[in-house]
Structure 1
Amino acid sequence: MRFCLLGSILIDDGAGERPITAARQRALAAALLLRANRVVEWDEAARLVWEGEPPEGARATLHGYVSRLRRALGPSAAERIQTRDCGYLAVVRAGELDLDEFEQLRTRGKSAAREERWEESRRDLAQALALWRGTPLLDVTCLAGREDVVRQWTEIRLQTLEARLAADLELGLHQVVLAELTGLAREHPLRERFTGQLMLALYRCDRQAEALAVYRDAWKTLVEEIGVEPGALLKDLNQRILDRDPALAPSQGRPSVQVPAVRTPPPPAQLPPVTADFSGRGPQTAALLEFLEPAGPAEASRLAAVTGPGGIGKTTLAVHVAHRLSRFFPDGQLFAELAGAGPEPVAPQEIQGRFLRALGFPPEAIPADDEERTALYRSALAGRRVLVVLDNASSCSAIRDLLPGTGPAAVIVTSRAALSDAAVGRAVNLDLLSAATARLFFEQLIGAARAGAEPGSVEEVVEACGGLPLALRIAGARLAARPHWSVRSLADLLTDARGRLGELSVGELSVRACFQVGYDGLRGPGLPWSDRADHYFRLLGLVDLPTISGQAAAALFDVPPAWAHGLLERFTDARLLESPGCDRYGFHDLTRLFARELGLVQESPAERTAALGRLFSWYLASAEAAALALRPDIAPVVPRPEEGRARGGAEPAVPADRAAALAWFESERANLVAAALQAHELGMWDLAWRIPEAMRTFFIVRRHWADWIRTYGTGIDAARECGDLLGEARMHDGLGVAYFDVHRFAESAEVTQTAVAVYRAAGRRDLEALAASNLTGALGRLGRYPEGMAAARAALEIQLADGQLNAAATTWGNLGMLQFFSGDAAAAIESYLVALDLSRRTGNRYAEVAVLSNLGEAYTAVGRHVAAIEHCHQALILCAELGTDHGRAITLAHLAEAYWQTGSAGQAREAWQEAAGIYERLGAPEAAEIQGRLRQTESV
């Protein structure tokens, strides 16, 4: 375990850092760690967390903070926060808290200095200082007494730094520490010891005049700012330098840390060349320049991060910005590729060695010890205006030892991972290029004349590249190298998704190779599933869903949901997945092609079929559970055989109520549709029609007609393929309802008549009657009233004989609608009232809302406007409860007519406008009709 307060608060349980996102939870953790291994009483904890007088109920709130803090920290760290009778106790063992370790090393280093064991003193003090990651409690903003703690420990750090520099000077390392002392003396002009150490280092480097100039500047600063002269020790040192006191020279017989004189090479200029065709990142460039351009003497180094998936242009942007900034960093620009996205990232100590050599340190002057090397690296950067670009970092911890400790240096780091460390002052996350920007970028690559000659082909190439800058660059490079190719020829090559990745390759650039780097780094120690992470990624690539949740992935992978969520997070951290929302994960188009290629090659047909079967079965079972929550009054018509319910490691989603069921259906609608269509494509016929059937009630409530018609259309084919008569009838029946809604009345009548015939062949009188009832609406709209009446009465005969009063309520309503269409509003009202009575007696709220709305229309037709308005308002209340916007729009239109007939023109127009808005959003054909009605009323 590691507990760190010297910087942003950091808790590492051995499996990685555990972020604490809530401010008061960070404050509570800091308060307990500052008082480690002693009980912090309730009242004291409350005063610390609320910075004074705590609010009422603070103790209960503290309990909640502790519970959430434990969850955030994971089981290993959570057990270290213990509840006692009177408060809380943070259990910290020896060597686990950076404050304790710092104090132990500091004490040991000072003791060694007193005994003139300078090598040991320097080593221990450097190790102590290396523990500092920035200002103590950097991200703890609401802790009482924080400022005092920060001041105390900052002062102790400066004293430790002075002691380490004294050891450096005793060991003859005056040339090594000169740059660091220059920066420190500038940052802390009132600390006379830094000034004296700088004077001594300059003198020992044979720069006596500069050493005396430092004294004169210090004297002026002290006199002008605080009205005192330098102290006796500084005055004495100045005089001894004037006298060239031999005792100031470094002693002879240096130990092993003695280094040769540092050469003075030209400042390093390691930035890669900037690309001439850089474009499309204007706002991001501006944000980085604004943050990194020095506005004056820098008190602290600045760190900016550029993050995003592979191929998105992180390095290009970082290098472009670094070149723009180079004039502000005359002491050099350092660049390193860390290979953090792959399985073998470069060690920070290796990078430190490269940078130190570039800054002029000979190899023999660079310590082998990691902590000493880090201390020397930070000393070398202190006081220098150096820009460091760290490309392709794996995490915050991978760059921690490469960050300057203090001074005017600046760092730009790129990473596929989201760098959440508080030390990052400005984070820029790159997304895919917009269609317009991608086209402009591609046109720059191939030339405006060539692009203008084939605009349609350019659009196809840009679309195939999916807004990924690397893909666009490769496509452009291929055309640039082949001046006789047409853009059409490349567009044709990219049309076939199966070969697209192979075509997006030129020279050393390859989209597939870019993705391969992240894929190769998926496996890792520490979690039960990590040794098969690549296998699960390949399975995910086989799926056509737009997004996937942790529960659905658990079914696909056949693992517990917690494992599945961890896998999805790992894929996201590797930037092989995107996370558009909480517990939502999806592929970029090209990444999906990469994963699918791997899955089709490396996973056996049996494994692929089993995995997709588990996933689609999970969606079916979840949709059935949600449908039951929507209509608890109706048993499923086609219950799924239990032997077909294999779901792997995940139980189906079971919404608690109607509202939750609607929300689940809406969130998973695109996935359910995609699952049904992919099941059809793969020949999983049973699943291909059962998933749409499970969505029937949802479709009726929310009227997503395009999805409804498409899935039921393929469902007919699937049910026929597996020889399921009942399934075939259900698909025809449901498709007929959808066709009716969109005013395709002839098609509605045709498929519903087929449903009646197939139900009859399957021996399902109850469903035959229900389909005959549904048929009446289409027949009525086609003017085939006698046929419609006959169908309605035949349905009622069966339903009433079999005691199906719930279904009979719907049929009486349909009969009334047919009578209204035929011009007999009085007869329609009589039928509607029977339907209303039956629907209320049987609890059929969906029939009830339709009948109430239709009664409003019928009462208006016979001049009973008050009754019409009353019934419409009752229907609107039910529409809200059931979540049916389509029903609300129908009812609002009926209500508007009633208001208009009573002379309430304002209320009528308001109702029509709302109805028109709903119809337009749904894409319903009634939208034009209502807009026309509104125009008619405006002229009255």
Structure 2
Amino acid sequence: MVTNIRITLLGPVRAWRGTEELGLGPAQRRAVLAQLAASEGQAVTTEEIVDGLWGDTPPARAVAAVRNHVSQLRAILEADRAAPRVLVSAGGGYVLRLPAGATDLARFRDLVQEAAGLRAGGDPAGAADRLRRALDLQTGVPLEDIPGPHAERQRARFAQRRLTAVEERLDLALELGRHTEVVEELGSLVEEFPLHEGFRALRMTALYRSGRRVEALESFADACRHLDAELGVEPTRPLRDLHERILRRDPGLATPAAPAVPVAGREPASHPRPNQLPSGTPEFTGRGELVEALVRLVEEPRETAPAVVAVAGMGGVGKTTLAVHIAQRVTHRFPDGQLYVNLRGARPDPVEPAAVLARFLRSLGVAENALPEQVDERAAMYRSLLAERRVLIVLDDARDDAQLRPLLPGSEHSAVLVTSRARLPGLAPTRQVDLDVLDPDEALALFARIAGPHRVHAEPQAAREVLAACCHLPLAIRIVAARAAAHPDWTLADLCHRLADRRQRLAELSLHDLAVDACFQLSYDQLSPPAARAFRLLAVPETADLSLPAAAAALELAEPTLLDLLDGLVHAGLLETPAPDRYAYHDLLRLFARARAEQLDPPEERDALLLRMVDQAVATAANAYRMVRPGHAVPDVLTPVAVPGLPMTERAGGQRWLDEERGNLLDLAGQALDIPGAHTAVADLLLALDPHLDSGFLWRELIEVCRRTMRVAAARGDARAEGRAGYMLGGGLMQLAELDEAEPVAARAAAQAGACRDLPVLAEINNVRGMIAHQRQRIQESFALTRAAIRLAEESGSAWTKANLLANSVMPHLSCGEADLAVRAAEQSLAMFRVIGDPFGEAYAMYCAGRAARGAGDPDQAIALFEQALAQARAHGFPVFEPSSLLHIADCHLDAGRPAEAADRAEQSLAACRTLQMGRVEKLAVDTLARSLAARDALAATEGAAARDRPDGR
């Protein structure tokens, strides 16, 4: 290492070798040197230099330009051209190897630290001298004339550090009785920084001690005006307290405060001010509102107890980074020091409170031989030392309340930041934060800061896909971004490809000593065997979340027993609970848990778990079916299962269960198809979902699972399962107006159901086939299929099916000009549904009665019936009726010569179609809207012409 190079950054960027000043060249080259010098021996990547020089808009050859500047700087700085010793390549970038104190920035920091030590040791004059020398190092604007975002950030950071040092020097001047010497300087500072309460307080004190009490009070009033005008707030408690002391002429203000009472085991003059915070993360990104709220909370003075902020969240979510970032922001509010400890709560060997207290007490000036033996005595001494001091304590990675309780201060002067993977219910913090992953924009910003903004600009979509694969978890983002930075030849599309395999994704999310998998393992290792088994196996189902009953069926555990295990997993940050009695995994934790299940739990056990869940779903869906479609025979012909399923006592409960579980049930069905023999239960489950899918019009979600089930059943020669899956597929395709595929599927399903005499299902299949035939204008075939379906419904005792078929026969009757028969069929259907007690069936029968009334030439009666159907559907949550009912109301208004009303209802129908993705009805609504608007315009033109032709012009 060359020892005679020195560099200045606190003014123009200049460099010397010994007494010889070196010519550094253009501003951009000096900017590269400044960025390397400011890193103080840490490697700076090429991407970071590019970002520091150009930010979000680097030129096309930015990297080449940086390399050229580095080459030129080496020629300037290196005395020996044989091998670089000052500016060397390292870590995908460069590092400037300089001796300690080779930059004025480093000397500034050292002098400030010396000042803190001298003041703690009882030498305020020496401390003031060091601060004066530190401040004298600035010879102009820091990094003067240096371009780029890095220089801007460094200037802002040093401005804050300088203000803090100035405030400390002036505080020392008051302690030394030099109030008259600094009062005018303080006046200038208050004028320059009118919202800086520290300078304001020092000036008020200096004025008061100089015999200028009225001016001190006026200064407070001026602060109130500025704070109210600029921020809409009043002064903080310390400034208000100082104002009150000046008002009452507090004797304690007349002279510097007396030294603190010595504590046993400590030198009388010693008052160490520890600064144990880890360095902040330079690329800290996002969480802006949360950071500002927590900074305000920590800074705000309290009256009785310390501010305690507890940050909980899963491993890798950024708890420590957030806590340290906040701590670094508020250090100036805690002049008596900052204590930090990693409590190792997620590890097998957490730090004992006694050991932490011993460490903290030594940092606060207690001699080793004066440390009490007992933990409660150490805690008492710790609280006594902090009673009058303003100290910030960061307790990182806490395990539980018992570990934390002895480490909390007792007075309001200090503040505490706690991080833990689990919530700590006994802590009763001032603010509890449940930290989540970053939002997509914050995640993108973090990735760009590390990998380089030019990478994101070049492949924005690939960058988003990389972050989605990382599930926006900060640890995962840092790892993958660092890998991208270390491999500039990789494209982000390459990264996407590497992360695409979910089974290998966790292996990709590791770099040196950082690994998402290892982070999760720490929490997993703390689990009891039953909790670990539950954590592994409940990740096997590929569902968005799990209800408590579904989880209980999966693990064959009583709900109270399982509830304790699940709450423990939530407490450990391994599960989330988005709603009462519902549980979900973060996606990366799910991958981790599944990997552990594949390692430790046999395939047969995992398959059996899925089959138990399917059985419970079939039984519960059958119970819901009876509530949603009373009088239907299908629930009685489902394959019996060993579990009773969840009880259902009323329609709303059955519909609610189906609404909550629909996505999960389809995911479960698709996953179970991979288990040999499970297709039979899957076909039953799909069939049991029929009423929900009908009322909610969610056929599109079902179709692929139905196709797969049919294929598997056909391959195994299972006619019953194939017919049931075929019925659901054919009905769904018909609802989506995909008749070319629906018709052969339904015909195949009818043949299979007929072969095994699955009569209730065959009746439903013939109903579907009849509706398809009607839509294809094969009216007699439609009648024949409907009549056959009614006979099958009567034979199987399915009253609901018969009522539904009567309603469906309305349109074939109307197509044959049999309006009276259509009206009679609708009335019979409505009467049957009312006896059965099915509000959905009633709404449908009313809708069909409206069709019959319109066909009979009574549009106003039809409108009344459609409106009744619409009201019934809305009252019971059946959105499927909205588009068609509104469309027919529009058509009736058009029939009656009311085109404006028709256009209004057609527009409503069109909006409902688009919400529900009902393409076939949407086309009809577009046509009706066009005809309504044309008729409205024609009517307006006719009325206008008639008015012009009248003699009176009216």
Give the shorter-chain TM-score range: 0.5 to 0.7
The aligned residue for residue 372 of structure 2 is: 367
* Aligned-partner SS, 2:637: coil
**Structure 2 vs 1, CA of residues 262 and 391 (structure 1 numbering), >3 Å: closer, same or farther?**
farther
> 1:373–1:638: structure 2 CA closer, same or farther, 3 Å change rule?
same
CA contact (8 A) 1:542 1:600 kept: no
SS at 2:546's partner residue?
Answer: coil
Question: Do the aligned partners of residues 367 and 931 (structure 1) sit closer, same or farther apart at CA in structure 2, a change above 3 Å counting?
Answer: farther
Residue equivalent to 1:245: none
8 Å contact kept, 2:295–2:326: yes
- In structure 1, the partner of 2:886 is 892
Give 2:600's aligned amino acid: Q
Rounded to whole Å, the distance in 1 between the matches of 2:352 and 2:552 is: 35
Match of 1:655 in 2: 648
CA distance 1:802–1:536, shift in 2 (3 Å): closer
Q: Which residue of 2 aligns with 1:281?
A: 287
The answer (yes or no) to whether the contact 1:627–1:694 under 8 Å persists in 2 is yes
Which amino acid is 2:555 matched to?
F
Counterpart in 2 of 1:632? 630
Q: Please list the CA deviations of residues 443-477 of structure 1 after superposition, one character each: whole Å capped at 9, or x if unmatched.
A: 22111222323334322211110010000000011
Q: Answer yes or no: is 1:271 the counterpart of 2:244.
A: no
Match of 1:922 in 2: 916
**Corresponding position of 1:680:** 673
- Distance in 1 separating the partners of 2:510 and 2:569: 24
Q: Amino acid of the residue matched to residue 283 of structure 2? A: D
> Shift of the alpha carbon at 1:588?
0.9
Of 479, 488, 494 in structure 2, the residue corresponding to residue 483 of structure 1 is 488
Give 1:936 shift: 4.6
Residues 432/804 of structure 1: CA separation in 2 closer, same or farther (3 Å cut): closer
SS where residue 433 of structure 2 aligns? strand
Paired with 1:343 and 1:334, the residues of 2 have a C-alpha distance of: 23
DSSP 3-state at the match of 1:692 = helix
Matching residue's letter, 1:757: A
Q: Structure 1, residues 12-71: CA drift from partner, whole Å, max 9, x if none?
A: xxxxxxxxxxxxxxxxxxxxxxxxxxxxxxxxxxxxxxxxxxxxxxxxxxxxxxxxxxxx
The share of aligned pairs that are identical, in percent, is: 33
CA distance in 2, matches of 1:501, 1:410: 37
Q: CA deviation at 1:924?
A: 1.5
Output the CA distance in 1 between the equivalents of 2:397 and 2:487: 32
Q: 1:348 maps to what in 2?
A: 353
Shift of the 792–547 alpha-carbon distance from structure 1 to 2, 3 Å rule, reads same
Aligned to 1:197: none
TM-score, normalised on structure 2?
Answer: 0.67
Query: How many residues of Structure 1 are paired with residues of Structure 2 in the alignment?
Result: 689
Shift of the 221–753 alpha-carbon distance from structure 1 to 2, 3 Å rule, reads closer
Please give the alpha-carbon distance, in whole angstroms, between the structure 1 residues aligned to 2:877 and 2:694.
Answer: 11
Residue type of the alignment partner of 1:489: D
Query: Of 729, 734, 753, which aligns to 2:728?
Result: 734
- Structure 1 residue 424 displacement after superposition: 1.7
Alignment correspondent of 1:442: 447
Q: Tell me, in whole angstroms, the C-alpha distance in 2 between the residues paired with 1:471 and 1:588.
A: 13
1:857 aligns with 2:851: yes
Tell me if the contact between 2:794 and 2:802 (Cα under 8 Å) persists in the aligned partners: yes
Give the unaligned 5+ runs of structure 1: 1-181, 183-212, 214-219, 231-241, 243-248, 251-256, 524-530
Q: Distance in 1 between matches of 2:634 and 2:793?
A: 18
Aligned-partner SS, 2:673: helix
* Alpha carbons 2:265, 2:366 under 8 Å: kept: no
Answer whether contact 1:853 1:894 (CA < 8 A) is retained: no
For residues 561-592 of structure 1, what are the alpha-carbon distances to aligned partners after superposition, in whole Å with 9 as ceiling and x for unaligned?
Answer: 01111111111111111111111110111100
1:667 maps to what in 2?
660
SS of the equivalent of 2:315 reads coil
For residues 333 and 249 of structure 2, the distance between their equivalents in structure 1, rounded to whole angstroms, comes to 35
SS at 2:462's partner residue? helix
Deviates more, 1:531-540 or 1:921-930: 921-930
Distance 1:258 1:804 in 2: 90
Contact 2:910–2:925, Cα closer than 8 Å, also in 1: yes
Deviation at 1:731, TM superposition (A): 1.4
> What do residues 797-821 of structure 1 show as CA deviations (whole Å, max 9, x unaligned)?
6556888665443333333223435
**CA positional deviation for 1:914:** 4.6
Partner Cα separation in structure 1 for residue 346 and residue 265 of structure 2: 36
Distance 1:548 1:262, change over 3 A: farther
- Write out aligned runs for 1:693-712 (5 A): 693-712=687-706
Distance 1:846 1:605 in 2: 43
Rounded Cα–Cα distance in structure 1 between residues aligned with 2:623 and 2:730: 24
CA shift for structure 1 position 259: 3.4
Q: Which residue of 2 is the match for residue 416 of structure 1?
A: 421
Q: In 2 relative to 1, CA 403–870 (structure 1 residues): closer, same or farther, beyond 3 Å? A: same
SS of structure 2 residue aligned to 1:280: coil
* Shift in alpha-carbon separation, 1:837–1:407, aligned structure 2, 3 A: closer
Distance in 2 (alpha carbons) for counterparts of 1:355 and 1:777 = 80
Q: Is residue 385 of structure 1 aligned with residue 395 of structure 2?
A: no
Unmatched runs of 5 consecutive residues or more in structure 2: 1-174, 176-208, 210-241, 253-257, 937-954
1:509 is aligned, of 510, 514, 525, to 514
For residues 760-909 of structure 1, the aligned pairs below 5 Å read 760-764=754-758, 767-796=761-790, 806-821=800-815, 825=819, 828-836=822-830, 839=833, 846-880=840-874, 883-902=877-896, 908=902
Tell me which residue corresponds to 1:612: 610
Instruction: Give the C-alpha shift of residue 910 in structure 1.
Output: 5.7
User: 1:654 Cα shift?
Assistant: 1.5
Of 705-714 and 749-758, more deviation after overlay is shown by 705-714
Verify the 8 A CA contact 1:300 1:406 in the aligned structure 2: yes
Q: Deviations over 1:783-839 (max 9, x none)?
A: 333432333344456556888665443333333223435676565445444544555
Over 3 Å counting, the alpha-carbon distance change for 1:640 and 1:807 in structure 2 is closer
Q: Deviation of residue 485 (structure 1)?
A: 2.7
The equivalent residue for 1:92 is none
**Bigger shift: residues 619-628 or 461-470:** 619-628
| CA deviation vs aligned residue, 1:471-498 (integer Å, no higher than 9, x gap) | 0000011122223333233222211111
- TM-aligned CA distance change 1:844 to 1:273, over 3 Å: closer
Whether the 8 Å contact between 2:361 and 2:382 is mirrored in structure 1 is yes
Does the C-alpha gap of structure 1 residues 369 and 608 become closer, same or farther in structure 2, counting only changes over 3 Å? same
Backbone CA RMSD of aligned residues: 3.4
User: CA separation of 1:932/1:374 partners in 2, compared to 1, >3 Å: closer, same or farther?
Assistant: farther
Q: CA shift at 1:229, angstroms?
A: 12
CA shift, 1:500, in A, is 0.8
Contact kept, 8 Å, 2:536 with 2:594, in 1: the verdict is: yes
Structure 1 residues 505, 221: CA separation in 2 closer, same or farther (over 3 Å shift)? closer
Deviation at 1:877, TM superposition (A): 4.9
Q: Deviations over 1:639-695 (max 9, x none)?
A: 3444x42x5xxx622122001111111111121111111111333222322221111
Please tell me whether the aligned partners of residues 856 and 895 of structure 1 are also in contact (alpha carbons under 8 angstroms). no
Q: Is the 8 A contact 1:726 1:762 kept in 2?
A: yes
3-state SS of paired residue (1:467):
coil
Contact 1:685 1:722 (C-alpha < 8 Å) held by counterparts:
no
Q: Which amino acid aligns with 1:775?
A: R
Q: Distance in 1 between matches of 2:760 and 2:552?
A: 39
What CA distance in whole angstroms lies between the structure 2 residues aligned with 1:911 and 1:788? 31
- Deviation per CA, 1:381-440: give whole Å up to 9, x if none: 111121111111123443221111114111111122224457422233321112222122
Aligned pairs for 1:60-459 within 5 A: 259=265, 261=267, 264=270, 266-294=272-300, 300-420=305-425, 423-459=428-464
> Is the CA contact 1:547–1:585 (under 8 Å) kept in the aligned structure 2?
yes
